[in-house]
Amino acid sequence: MNRILTPREKEIFDLLINNLSTKDIASKLNISEKTVRNHISNVMQKLGVKGRATAVVELLKLKEISI
């Protein structure tokens, strides 16, 4: 099965579902907040959704991430 997420995108969404903010994720991964937002936007675009919550739901359905 082809994965939708890159390893970095998966890492970011795993942190997002653990209730970390964009700022917290950036700090933890030593990247800028803009880079975090870009990764999230890329995933939303790949999935064709408008919003982080909808992206999380779709990724859960696709078994790309788990809670």
Does the structure show a pLDDT above 60 at 11?
A: yes
Quote the pTM value: 0.91
Q: What is the pLDDT of residues 22-56, one digit of tens each?
A: 999 999 999 999 999 999 999 999 999 999 999 99
Which helix (H) or strand (E) segment is 28 a member of?
Answer: helix 22-29
| CB of 17 closer than 8 Å to CB of 56 | yes
